Copies of this chain bind each other. A is one copy, B any other.
Amino acid sequence: MRETNGWVRTVALLPPSLKDNTSDAGRLTGELKKRLHADGVRVDLDLLKTLPDLLRRWNYRARCVLFRDRNLWQVVGISDPDAVRPATGVAIDLGTSRVVLRLVDLATQKVLGETAFNNPQIAIGPDVLARIHHTDKAGGLAQLNGLIVTGLNEAIKTVTNQAGLDREDVYLLTVAGNTTMSHLFMGLDPHWIIREPYIPVVNRPDPMAASDLGLQVNPLARVLVFPNIGSYFGGDLIAGILHAGLHTSDDTAILVDVGTNAEVVLGNSQWLIACAGAAGPALEGGVTRMGMMAGPGVIDRITIDPVTYKIEVHTIDDQPPKGICGSGLIDLAAQLYLAGMIDLRGRLVPAACGASLKKREGIPYLIIVPAHQSGTGEDLGISQIDLDSLIRSKAAMYTILETLTASVGMRPEDLETFCVAGTFGSFIQPESAITIGMLPDLPRDRYRSLGNSSLGGATRVLCSVEALDELDRIRDRITYLELNVNQDFMNRFSAAKFIPHTNTGLFPSIRAVRP
């Protein structure tokens, strides 16, 4: 078996003799200490109970799964070195809306499977805020905690069974989520997260026993919940930085994660500066009348013929359209702008929109997919209110980028690498985001879509001992920039509320297309 520098180590010990009557545990930890350069190696009591028999059965050879807390290592599993069953870990992206699990062979770092499910806490409240308020009710926290733990246990069962394994084969779990999701998962009170001065219970959770968290995996399994920097800067983003390698790059790069909050990190191997700001809810599913999360039948790309104004939509899995996701919405706004169907303030232009422009409850409303073509049997459209909201969001995003880069004496257009994280990042077309002035007008090849960077970062820690240290280094090195919504910020924001921007000189490639 290939064994890299990960959490699994196979050791061959000298059998005991009258000349060396060290205990079984001491024999094992002594060898591991040497190999790992560890201050100490702990062995759980439950493991000690079986250790003498196991070591003798395997002729003093053993495959050990390890984990670490600072420089104190912990044996979290011991198994037959000739076993064919892999020792596995599960990386978890603990999203507010969606939870994704990835099963990894800890010895070979091979991905053995993935599964995902909608966060069952959605039944209590769609967003972080609603869920935190729910915890103020009696039993509310236990209920939310129970929902996510139950969901995870089912998903762990699914993903292990699909790989032909049992959940007892899972020895390590890494969990990256925002600060509130992490708190709810650990059963910690999130009450103060949203109350000034916004204090989480914990920033850097110590590695925990999976059993203490109610997870049904190997009884000795350990769980690492990613650290956060504060209430609004969670472990998901730390995982993103780790995944993007922002902290190891010589060039200054930026990482953007867009959701209800725009979370942005700028930095390189020398420094990291982060901020998070409300980007407005326009880009999340469920906000516009037809908005929804990415899924089959959801519009993810749109083109509009600037001559005929004909709208062509592409849906995920080519199903009949039933809604639009955030990236589709940005595509739509960009195409509407390029076709002249909205003006530089984002207002629907009646002359260009023609008969598709209706009014609903007195608000202008543009039909994108008529009822007879939609998957819902109803018109799919976008209202002026939705567009206004989108404009505010994109303006907030750009203003945050401008403010953050300015804080280190840079401009957005100086960035060498621009990473876009999250499901949103997987679907977004940089061209469209640039067109509406949400992202800066960089050469397109500087944009990198990271995919699920939370999951990526969580996976890295499962695969590499060093990645665990990097987590602390990232946390220690980040400066958090408190967004000061002052006159200067508001001026920038107002300027960014135009498409692409009041200062079109910032977007030369868009000015070239639609001057």
Contact = CB atoms under 8 A, between A and B. Distances in A.
B24 A201 contact: yes
Contact of A40 (B69, B188, B197, B482): B69
Nearest to A213: B45
Nearest to A46: B212
Contacts of A201: 23-25, 48, 51-52
A43 B197 contact: no
Contacts of A197: 16-18, 20-21
Contacts of A16: 197, 199
A34 to B, nearest CB: 16
Given A201-B24, A201-B25, A45 B192 contact: no
Contacts of A69: 40, 42, 72
A186 B48 contact: yes
Interface string A384-412: 00000000000000000000000000000
Nearest to A206: B42
Contacts of A213: 45
Interface string A192-213: 1000111111111110100011
Interface in A45-91: 45-46, 48-49, 51-53, 69-72
B203 A26 contact: yes
A191 interface: yes
A210 B189 CA distance: 26
A159 to B, nearest CB: 24
A71 B206 CA distance: 15
A187 interface: yes
A118 interface: no
A161 interface: no
A457 B39 CA distance: 25
Interface string A430-472: 0000000000000000000000000000000000000000000
A146 interface: no
A16 B463 CA distance: 36
Contacts of A26: 202-204
A230 interface: yes
Contacts of A270: none
A52 B192 contact: yes
Q: What's the number of copies of this chain in the assembled complex?
A: 2
A204 to B, nearest CB: 7
A230 B20 CA distance: 10
Given A192-B52, A212-B45, A200 B70 contact: no
Contacts of A24: 192, 199-202
A218 interface: no
A5 interface: no
Nearest to A27: B199
A76 to B, nearest CB: 13
A22 interface: yes
Contacts of A43: 202, 206
A383 to B, nearest CB: 37
A96 interface: no
A174 interface: no
A192 B204 CA distance: 42
B189 A23 contact: no
A231 interface: yes
B189 A49 contact: yes
A202 B230 CA distance: 41
A276 to B, nearest CB: 13
A22 B186 CA distance: 18
A18 B429 CA distance: 37
Interface in A1-52: 16-18, 20-26, 39-40, 42-43, 45-46, 48-49, 51-52
Given A52-B191, A52-B201, 14 more contacts: A21-B231, A23-B199, A23-B202, A24-B199, A24-B202, A25-B201, A39-B71, A40-B69, A42-B206, A45-B208, A45-B213, A49-B189, A52-B192, A69-B72
18 contacts: A17-B197, A21-B197, A22-B199, A23-B199, A24-B201, A24-B202, A25-B203, A26-B202, A42-B69, A42-B206, A45-B187, A45-B208, A48-B188, A48-B202, A48-B205, A52-B189, A52-B191, A52-B201
